């Protein structure tokens, strides 16, 4: 078994057919078929079940696929490490919570892009769950997420501390007043909201049930729904200051044990730490003093 065989195998598994794999690999279908048959002979078991629409992985193929992907990634990472001469350059894709991007890191991204113009910096927003999975799946080099993460494959570094607060409609004197009969309608940014666990803990501590969660695509939509009395939400205090000062919503402070959350930066433990990512972390840590 060699790396070329594994690459052909992974491509067939991903595309679902010998012809499709051959087109992606810029070769002929007979070559792909021969490679797969030779690999199956070497391993002593079928890797694909053939059908009229293409192929599907067998149980043995399912077990081999993660190793094929890992080998491909290790080879690519070896190339990146070899070519990295210490000068920050090339692509760098970073993930960030929507709230963190809006509140904390936008000026840091801008400063980094100015300081290192040879780096093609891209920022991808998402929830903590989405971003952790993207880093684990190697589609992001790193991400700002709600911590702690405590995953054995990841390194996490504390970056920021945030104070969360409850937002409710204007004129409501307390969290309890915003929850009719011990029931709260919750407004969130979207499915997988990064502060969901903390929000549920805050309400559970007060004996408040959550029968309904309303999802919206933007922070402004959340502010509008909360102001209209459709529900309450939990967001960083620094993010909602302008909305509160404009008299659109009421804020309800929480005790430190409930209010304080940590934003961490995660990256894969075994991956090569590129010069671009190393310079990014140094830049963010130097600028995080304003938090």
**Class of the CATH domain delimited by 163-258:** alpha beta
Tens-place pLDDT, residues 249-270: 888 889 988 899 999 999 999 8
Q: Please state, in angstroms and rounded to a whole number, the distance separating the CA atoms of residues 214 and 230.
A: 9
- Cross-strand bridge partners of residue 145: 264
User: Tokens in use for 132?
Assistant: 């952790």
End-to-end CA distance of the chain: 52
- Higher local confidence (pLDDT), 108 or 266: 266
Cα dihedral: 258, 98, 212, 184 (round 10)? 40
User: Tokens in use for 242?
Assistant: 């302008």
CATH number of 3-83: 1.10.10.10
- Cross-strand bridge partners of residue 142: 94
Q: State yes or no: pLDDT of 89 exceeds 70.
A: yes
Structural domain spans, the chain? 3-83, 90-161+261-290, 163-258
- Please check whether the two domains, 3-83 and 90-161+261-290, share a CATH topology: no
Cβ neighbour number for residue 244 with a 10 Å cutoff: 16
CATH number of 90-161+261-290: 3.40.190.10
Tens-place pLDDT, residues 6-52: 999 999 999 999 999 999 999 999 999 999 999 999 999 999 998 88
Task: Identify the three-state secondary structure at position 60.
Answer: helix
The answer to whether the beta carbons of residues 9 and 47 sit under 8 Å apart is yes
Q: Please give the pLDDT value at position 291.
A: 42
Using alpha carbons only, give the angle 210, 213, 216 rounded to the nearest 5 degrees.
155
Using alpha carbons only, give the angle 40, 42, 44 rounded to the nearest 5 degrees.
65
Q: Please give the pLDDT value at position 242.
A: 67
pTM for the predicted model, two decimal places: 0.77
Q: Which region, left, alpha or beta, applies to residue 107 given φ > 0 means left and ψ of -120 to 50 means alpha?
A: alpha
DSSP state of 126: -
Q: What is the largest CA-CA distance in the chain?
A: 74
Closest CA to 203 of 170, 233, 158: 233
């Amino acid at each position: 078994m060699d790396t070329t065989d594994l690459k052909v195998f992974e491509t067939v598994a991903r595309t679902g057919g010998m012809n499709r794999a051959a087109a992606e690999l810029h070769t002929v279908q007979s070559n792909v078929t021969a490679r797969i048959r030779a690999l199956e002979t070497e391993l002593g078991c079928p890797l694909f079940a053939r059908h009229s629409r293409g192929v599907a992985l067998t149980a043995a193929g399912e077990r081999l696929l993660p190793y094929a992907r890992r080998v491909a990634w290790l080879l690519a990472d070896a190339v990146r490490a070899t070519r990295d001469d210490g000068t920050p350059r090339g692509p760098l894709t970073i993930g960030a919570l929507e709230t963190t991007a809006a509140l904390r890191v936008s000026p840091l991204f801008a400063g980094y892009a100015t300081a290192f113009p040879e780096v093609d910096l891209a920022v991808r927003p998402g929830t903590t769950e989405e971003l952790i999975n993207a880093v684990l799946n190697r589609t992001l080099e790193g991400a700002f997420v709600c911590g702690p993460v405590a995953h054995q494959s990841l390194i996490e570094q504390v970056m920021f501390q945030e104070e969360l607060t409850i937002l409710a409609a204007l004129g409501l004197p307390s969290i309890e007043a915003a929850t009719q009969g011990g029931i709260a309608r919750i407004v969130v940014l979207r499915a997988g909201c990064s502060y969901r666990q903390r929000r549920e803990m805050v309400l559970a501590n007060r004996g408040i049930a959550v029968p309904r969660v309303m999802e919206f695509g933007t922070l402004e939509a959340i502010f509008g729904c909360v102001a209209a009395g459709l529900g309450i939400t939990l967001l960083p205090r620094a993010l909602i200051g302008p909305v509160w000062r404009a008299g659109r919503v009421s804020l309800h402070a929480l005790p430190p044990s409930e209010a304080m959350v940590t934003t961490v930066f995660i990256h894969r433990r075994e991956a090569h730490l590129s010069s671009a990512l190393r310079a990014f972390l140094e830049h963010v840590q130097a600028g995080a003093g304003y938090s």
